[in-house]
Structure 1
Amino acid sequence: MPVAAVLAGGIVGAVVATTFMGSSNEPPEVKIAAQAPQIAEKTPEQDQVQLEEKQTNVAVAAYAQPQAPTVEELTKTVSVGKGDTLMKVLTRAGADRSESHQAIAALTEVFDPRDLKIGQDVTLQFSTDDADLTKDSVVPSLMSVSLNEAVDRQLAAIRTPGAGFTAQETVLELDKSLVRAGGVIQNSLFLTAAQAGIPTKTIIDLIRIFSYDVDFQREIQPGDSFEVYFERFSDDTGRILKDGAIHWATMTLSGKEISVYRFKTADDGFTDYYDAKGRSVKKTLMRTPIDGARLTSGFGKRKHPTLGYTKMHRGVDFGARSGTPIMAAGNGVVEVAGRNGGYGNYVRIRHNGSYKTAYAHMKKFAKGVRKGSRVKQGQIIGYVGTTGRSTGPHLHYEVHRGGKQINPLSVKLPAGRKLGGKMLTAFREHSKKLNTEVANTALETQLASSD
């Protein structure tokens, strides 16, 4: 029994067991000291059991300890969907509604939440520093919200301990260069320019600049050519991030060359495009208030496609995909914006004492377009549809002069500003400088695309 006690009780049991063993000539304390090292030794089996117990305890402790979220779990990027508001985006990502409201309030100092675009990415940063990690459900705190308003402008609302959210704006410094690109038109200006790598925004700007003088449905022929001299912006690695304004452009139509120059007039501070003689390319009205459309029906008598008999067609029809933007042909005030019988969704704009324009069969109206609202030339007022008496998506476009409908494609429109005196002299010097720059810049027929 004493020996069993030693094995079961360890060193303390050994001391007790020694006291009750047979007599010895050595003092008890000496025998204890001599025997203690022998009693403390363990068998290999005991060592293995103790090691396994320690490993089990460590594993249990590790399992019981709450695991902190990784950095990836603390950062979320959400893409804006149709009908989303910034509040919806943040709360869908798991942010507390109250914290989301505070972040949005701060962000409005540098960004209008109504400008949020479908497909835009919003990045949220969370923190669990103040959260109770022993609870089953951990609610992290929103620390920042950031988004790119443009490729060179990042906006954020950042939380500062004890001070709430503050707005932050970061603008990248980009390198500006001017490139010259062009080509020979094979089918349409848009397709030829796109195949040459010219960005869509620049092509649309080019069409708008020339739309006052050029009928893109009838005047452009295969073999005509164009050139455009415009801005490109890149970062310090040379990566192209965005494209800017057109400084000069030219079109050669059936051998006739038309050139335009971007010029800012000092007396009023306005920037516009002028021809080689210093005349503004702008007219009272645009001939084509829609981009990338085809003329499907002209002005005059025709057999009506739905009524089946000959009827006067008092406008022109442009066939385009449903949802294509429709622009105001000129500055003016909206007289009508609503349903109008066979016209379907209809807008009529009064431009001055003589001219009005009308737009029919719209799918829907642009935001803010209503009776009495003011619109600017080129402003989107609605979208192509097939409402009313219509066989397919198209824009029916009318021009009214003195209360009478006239042919939009043949009407001679009043010209814009014509420069004179010192302003004309300044323009001539400017256009001469631009001509030299263009001549010294290589013509690109295939551009690298911007990101």
Structure 2
Amino acid sequence: MKFQSIAASLATLIFAASPSMTAPARTDAVPAAQSAVEQPEILVARDDTENPGSEDRFIDTWFPAVKPEAEPENLDDVDTGGPIDAKGIPEVPLDAQYRIERGDTFKAVLLRAGVAPDDADRAIQALTKVYDPKRLQPGIEVFLQLQPHKKSHVPLLVSIDFIADPETDVSVLRESDGSFSATTYERALTPRLAYGRASIRSSLYEAGQEAGVPSAILNGLVNLYSFDVDFQRDVQRGDSFEIVYQRMTDEGGTAVIEGDLMIASMTLSGVKTTLYRFKTKSGYVDYFDQDGQSAQKSLLRTPTDATRISSGFGSRRHPILGYNRVHRGIDFAAPKGTPVYAAGDGVIEKAGRFGSYGNYIRIRHGGGFKTAYAHLRGLANGISEGARVKQRRVIGYVGSTGRSTGPHLHYEVIKNGEQVNPQTLRLASGYRLKGEELADFKKGIGTLTEQLAAFRERTARKEN
């Protein structure tokens, strides 16, 4: 079988498009300047069939150029574009790119590309040592190198490369003995500063999205101020926020993941509060006001990303029992599955079914405080009685178990054995910077403030 025929048979499996795509960087690649071998001309092969079927997800393929003027009858006379080894395999492999879709598996992708089942199994077995194939998500692009065999329609799998997550590349390589090895590489990401500001008309999230602020950054803003701000009652029309945050970019300058909030400022009812990120010499990272006082409190007022309170603390008519009784907690309405966070550091005292509370967690904190979380759909992994948790760790998920009319989180704060209103509770402040640390902090926020001023000036020029 001549080389063109091999390439053509693979092209029927592979829908080719632009040759401009690039695979994840490989550390074993030889720089062009160091190569003494002239590289073959590169052409693009395209499948123009009207119905390419499931193979149209192979979105890029290129082949070494072989353009004989005539079709020789003797296949042994065909120029393959490179020397043939003892097994009759060309040295130059074929490359293909595949975009993962819902329901795909690595094995299905490899078999669709024509890889032999035993090759696919051995490659996946090597992959599992560094990456769980079950984590494969739609949208991931997988780059394959396939080496066509002169006397067989079945190509050899040479390598698999893909970006597992914004910070990690994964590579699977065929060794000289036919086995496979897998390696992970940290991607070279560069932090760049970004800026966002908005006036709130209806909700913080809506204002942020209209301003182009990523959801992850908005969640961080809410979490940061959740110690002091009741986002149900305290945020009003006309309030505003302003932030400077990091975006991690890849080698091409594309933003691939959100970094940290560096400056967060909220103006509520005319009162402005600005917080700055700072890392102490001991490695402790927190947000501090301009005087060096930590924003962190001993307990969260809102232990979930939900911002709507469906029932407050105090007397109410019970929605199921039908008579008035004291509601000794706060209910946060949220979709099923919304994460619930530990309100503070502590030890889990109870975890599991608890009467009308349904799935229930109670955490013992310091200073005579406990917090309770009820009607959960389920508990997070590792959550059991006696386990230690840190503030903001996910402990469970919003549900509607027990005596409940719909999905919500029932949250209680218990002080010295008595339920108290979380919204009116005065909480102990966190860490305060002093001495040399405070001086370093003041110097650092001076630099951040200059950057903030530059963003404001640039934004003002664009708006004018």
- State the TM-score bracket (shorter-chain normalisation): 0.7 to 0.9
Q: Spell out, residue by residue over 1:56-111, the C-alpha distance to the aligned partner (whole angstroms, 9 max, x if none).
A: xxxxx99xx987533727857464758xxxxx9233433777656654564466x4
Matching residue within 236, 240, 261 for 1:221: 236
AA of the residue aligned to 2:371:
T
AA of the residue aligned to 1:91:
K
Q: Does 1:89 align with 2:105?
A: yes
Partner of 2:152 in structure 1? Answer: 133
Partner of 1:284 in structure 2? Answer: 298
Q: Contact between 1:181 and 1:445, CA under 8 Å: does it hold in 2?
A: no
Q: Does 1:203 align with 2:222?
A: no
Take 1:118 and 1:352, find their aligned partners in 2: how far apart are those partners? Answer: 41
Q: How far did residue 359 of structure 1 move?
A: 1.0
Change (3 A) 1:223 1:116: same
Change (3 A) 1:108 1:200: same
**Other structure's SS at 2:230 match:** coil
Structure 2: where are the runs of 5+ without partners? Answer: 15-54, 56-94
Q: How far did residue 358 of structure 1 move?
A: 1.1
**Other structure's SS at 2:384 match:** coil
TM-score (norm 2): 0.72
Partner of 1:69 in structure 2? Answer: 10
Q: Contact between 2:317 and 2:324, CA under 8 Å: does it hold in 1?
A: yes
Q: How far did residue 413 of structure 1 move?
A: 1.2
Q: Does 1:334 align with 2:348?
A: yes
Matching residue within 214, 220, 233 for 2:248: 233
Task: Report the count of equivalent residues.
Answer: 374
Matching residue within 355, 362, 366 for 2:380: 366
Q: Does 1:296 align with 2:310?
A: yes
AA of the residue aligned to 2:434:
G
TM-score (norm 1): 0.74
AA of the residue aligned to 1:69:
L
Question: Which shifted more, 182-191 or 297-306?
Answer: 182-191
Q: Does 1:406 align with 2:425?
A: no
Change (3 A) 1:443 1:293: farther
Give the structure, 1 or 2, with the largest relative contact order (CA under 8 Å, sep 6 or more): 1
Change (3 A) 1:287 1:68: same
Q: How far did residue 437 of structure 1 move?
A: 2.0
Q: Contact between 2:106 and 2:124, CA under 8 Å: does it hold in 1?
A: no
Q: Contact between 1:190 and 1:292, CA under 8 Å: does it hold in 2?
A: no
AA of the residue aligned to 2:196:
A
| Aligned residue runs from structure 1 range 94-173, under 5 A | 94=111, 102-104=122-124, 106-107=126-127, 111-113=130-132, 116=135, 118-119=137-138, 121=140, 123=142, 125=144, 127=146, 129=148, 133=152, 141-151=156-166, 153-162=168-177, 164-173=179-188
Q: Spell out, residue by residue over 1:26-85, the C-alpha distance to the aligned partner (whole angstroms, 9 max, x if none).
A: xxxxxxxxxxxxxxxxxxxxxxxxxxxxxxxxxxx99xx987533727857464758xxx
Partner of 1:179 in structure 2? Answer: 194
Partner of 1:436 in structure 2? Answer: 450
Q: Spell out, residue by residue over 1:393-440, the C-alpha distance to the aligned partner (whole angstroms, 9 max, x if none).
A: 111111112222111111111111111111112112212222222112
Take 1:444 and 1:320, find their aligned partners in 2: how far apart are those partners? Answer: 38
Change (3 A) 1:309 1:75: same
**Other structure's SS at 1:442 match:** helix
Take 1:421 and 1:163, find their aligned partners in 2: how far apart are those partners? Answer: 62
Q: Does 1:315 align with 2:329?
A: yes
Change (3 A) 1:344 1:68: same
Take 1:147 and 1:373, find their aligned partners in 2: how far apart are those partners? Answer: 37
Take 1:198 and 1:191, find their aligned partners in 2: how far apart are those partners? Answer: 10
Partner of 2:26 in structure 1? Answer: none
Asked which structure has the greater CA Rg, the reply is 1
Q: How far did residue 163 of structure 1 move?
A: 6.4
Change (3 A) 1:214 1:143: same
Q: Spell out, residue by residue over 1:308-346, the C-alpha distance to the aligned partner (whole angstroms, 9 max, x if none).
A: 011111100001112211111112222222111211111
Change (3 A) 1:121 1:404: same
Q: How far did residue 176 of structure 1 move?
A: 3.3
Take 1:325 and 1:114, find their aligned partners in 2: how far apart are those partners? Answer: 25
AA of the residue aligned to 2:436:
K
Partner of 2:435 in structure 1? Answer: 421
AA of the residue aligned to 1:119:
P
Higher helix share: 1
AA of the residue aligned to 1:90:
F
Take 2:268 and 2:249, find their aligned partners in 1: how far apart are those partners? Answer: 33
Structure 1: where are the runs of 5+ without partners? Answer: 1-60, 83-87, 447-451
RMSD over equivalenced CA pairs, Å: 3.1
Take 1:281 and 1:405, find their aligned partners in 2: how far apart are those partners? Answer: 25
Q: Contact between 1:298 and 1:313, CA under 8 Å: does it hold in 2?
A: yes
Take 2:445 and 2:361, find their aligned partners in 1: how far apart are those partners? Answer: 39
Partner of 1:7 in structure 2? Answer: none
Q: Contact between 2:361 and 2:372, CA under 8 Å: does it hold in 1?
A: yes
Q: Does 1:248 align with 2:267?
A: no
Take 2:391 and 2:120, find their aligned partners in 1: how far apart are those partners? Answer: 38
Question: Which shifted more, 212-221 or 326-335?
Answer: 326-335
Question: Which shifted more, 155-164 or 340-349?
Answer: 155-164
Partner of 2:288 in structure 1? Answer: 274
